[in-house]
Amino acid sequence: MLGNGRSKRLASARLWLFVALAALFTALAAGAAMAARTAKNPPLIIGAIEDRSGASAVVSKPVIETLRVQIPAINKRGGILKRKVVLITEDDQGNPTLTPALVRRLIDRGARAVIMASGSASAVAAKPVLKQTQRVGIAPTNISPAIVTPPDNEWSFSVAPSSGGIGMLYGLAWKSLDIKKVAFLADQTPTITGSMPAAEAALTKLGIEVVAKELVPMTATDASPQVLRLQQARPDAVFVLSLGNQLEIVEQRTLKRLMPNTPRFGMPSLGAQTSTWALAQPSDLDGLVYTSTLTAKNPRTVALTALLRSRLGKNYVITDYNAQAYAALQLLQQAFERAGGEDPVKVRNALETTKGFKAPFGQPAFKLSYGPDRHFASAGVCGFVLSVFKGNKPGGAWSKYQPRCT
C-alpha cells in the first residue's frame, strides 16, 4: 500500500512538472514570436519637445493631451505601417537655449520625427539639430515665419497660420472698417518679437500704417507707461501681440482703463487659454477681437471635438492648439505611409509633396499643403475665424468681418 501511494505521488509530481515545463516552453515560444514580430515591426517613435512650466506651457499642454489621445487611436487601427506608435517627450521649460540638446536626446532615444510643442523660439533653435540629424521637425502651433525660412530650414515644417497670415487677415478687416493707423503692444519675448516683423510687413503691404510699437517685459504687473506712449500716437486700433497668460491680462486691463474707446485686437493665444480667463476682471476682455482657427461649420473640427471629449471628459474645451496638434500627427502619419518606411529623406520628400490635406481647423474648405520651398502648411486667410470676447469669455464669431472662403 505504501509503495503504491509513493508511486502515485511520483506520477502526480511528474505530471505537474510536465505541465509546468509545457507552459514554460509555450511562454518562451510566445515571447520569441513576439520578439520576432517586434524586430520585424519595431515601434515607430515620435518625439516631442514640450514646455511644462514656462511661458508656452498653456500652449504645450493641449498639444500633448491631444497626442496622447490620438496615438492610441492610431494604434487601435493598426499603427503606422503596422508599427505601434510610441510618444516620448523632453521638457525645455520654454527656454530655447535648452532645446537643441533635448532634440538631440530625443533622436538618440530613437525618435524618427520631432513635434515642436514649445514656443516659436524653441522651434527656431531646433532647426540646426534637425538638419544635422536629418529628422523632420513639425511645429503645430508656432506662428513665427523664421521656423520655415533659411537658414537651416530644410527639415523644419509648420502647421498653424503664421504671424504674416494674421497680419494679412487683420489688414483686410481693418481696410473694410476704414482703420488706417494701428499701434502694437507686445510681449518682450523672443517668440513675439520674432513674429512682429512679418505681421507688420503684411499690414504695410495692405496700406495699414503701424504708428507705434511698445514692448512689455514678462515680469510686468502694469503696462501703463507703454500704453500712455501708444496714446500719444493716436492709433485707430491697438494690436496686442502676446503669448497670453497673466501678462496679456495685464496688457488688456491697462488698455481697457487708459484707452477704453480704442478697438483692441489680439492673437490666438488668449482665446485658447481657458484657465487664463478667470484672471481677468469683469470687463477686461469685453469686446476684444482675436484670431481663432475653429468653427463648428467644419465637420472635421466637430469630429475631433467628439473624440477628445470622449477621452478627456464631456466638458473638455477644444482649442486651436488641439486641432493643430492633431493635424501635425496626421500629416506625419501620411508622410511615413507615403514614404513606405522611416527613411528620413523619403519622409521629408513625402511631406513636401503633401497637397490639399483637409484640415481639422479653419473654414470648411481650408486645406493644408507643402512644397519643396514651402514648409508652412497654412496659407491665405481661410484657416482663420475672427472671434470676440463677451465679458471675459469667447462670445462667438465677430459680426463685423469674416474672411471669405470657398
Half-sphere exposure of 376 (CA within 13 A, CB side): 20
DSSP class of 46:
E
All three cell numbers of 183, joined, read 499701434
Predicted pLDDT at 23 = 55
Is the pLDDT at 71 greater than 60? The verdict is yes
Specify the pLDDT at position 404: 87
Kindly tell me if the per-residue pLDDT of 180 is higher than 90.
Answer: yes
Residue 85 neighbours by CB under 8 Å, 6+ apart: 43, 44, 45, 46, 71, 74, 75, 79
Question: What pLDDT shows up at residue 41?
Answer: 87
pLDDT tens digits, residue range 375-387?
999 999 999 999 9
Q: What is the pTM for the complete model shown?
A: 0.85
CA neighbor of 99 nearest in space, from 69, 78, 120: 120
Task: Inform me whether the pLDDT recorded for 3 exceeds 70.
Answer: no
| Mean pLDDT rounded to a whole number for the chain | 92
Whole-angstrom CA distances from 321 to 67, 120, 405 are 11, 13, 22
What local confidence, expressed as pLDDT, does residue 36 receive?
42
* CA atoms of 382 and 359, how far apart (whole Å): 11
**Strand locations in 267-350, DSSP E?**
289-292
Q: Is residue 98's pLDDT more than 60? A: yes
Task: Give one DSSP letter per residue of 56-120, joined into a string.
Answer: THHHHHHHHHHHHHHHHHHHHTT-BTTB-EEEEEEE-TT-TTTHHHHHHHHHHTT-SEEEE-S-H
Cis amide bond preceding 151, omega within 30: yes
- Euclidean distance between CA atoms 182 and 165, whole angstroms: 17
Domain ranges of the chain: 44-161+298-375, 163-292+386-397
* pLDDT tier, 55 (very low <50, low <70, confident <90, very high otherwise): confident
Could you read off the pLDDT of 344-373 as tens digits, one per residue? 999 999 999 999 999 999 999 999 999 999
CATH of the domain spanning 163-292+386-397, picked from 3.40.50.2300, 3.50.50.60, 1.20.1740.10, 3.40.1280.10? 3.40.50.2300
Question: Hey, which CATH number is domain 44-161+298-375, 3.40.50.880, 3.40.50.720, 3.40.50.300, 3.40.50.2300?
Answer: 3.40.50.2300
Nearest to 160 by CA among 386, 362, 366, 324: 324
Instruction: Report the DSSP pairing between strands 289-292 and 264-266.
Output: parallel
